[in-house]
Amino acid sequence: MSAQVRNTIVCIVLGVLVSGCASQPDTSRYCGTVSGYLDPNPAQDLYRAVVTHLNGKPVISKPNYQLSPGIYEFTLAELISAPELKVKLAARTPKVLSVTVDTNQRYHLAAKFNTDKIYRGNNTDFWMPVIWQQEAHDCELPELK
């Protein structure tokens, strides 16, 4: 094999190796989004809910939470405004929802009003936190500097 052919092969191999390294995606910036800004349909017994805690830590509720893929615990307070809701204020307690966040997905939070019976007094079973909609959504965490 001539020196020129050998040098050409070495250049091609090096080019492939370098381009392979440069094209690897930065998976540390992959994320999914958990949202609470959309108004769900009350005709489907779905109402807004606000986030009070994320993984047990208090947060100021915001429309979107961009999170690395994984499992997160959201504590939600319901905002059910149905006239048939007859529970006492003390029964309107927050509940926890576990959300498995996948890359490039958006999850919409809501409070599901259980209308299977009339809930009265201190019965906290009148609602449950749910993901009422999931959709594809591009998400990339900001680059840390």
pLDDT (tens digit per residue) in 66-86? 999 999 999 999 999 998 898
- Cβ-contact 125, 114 below 8 angstroms: yes
Give residue-wise pLDDT tens across range 111-136: 999 999 888 899 999 999 999 999 99
Q: Residue 11's pLDDT band (boundaries 50, 70, 90)?
A: very low
Query: How is residue 30 annotated by DSSP?
Result: B
Distance linking the first and last C-alpha atoms of the chain: 49
- Which contiguous run of DSSP H or E holds residue 94? none
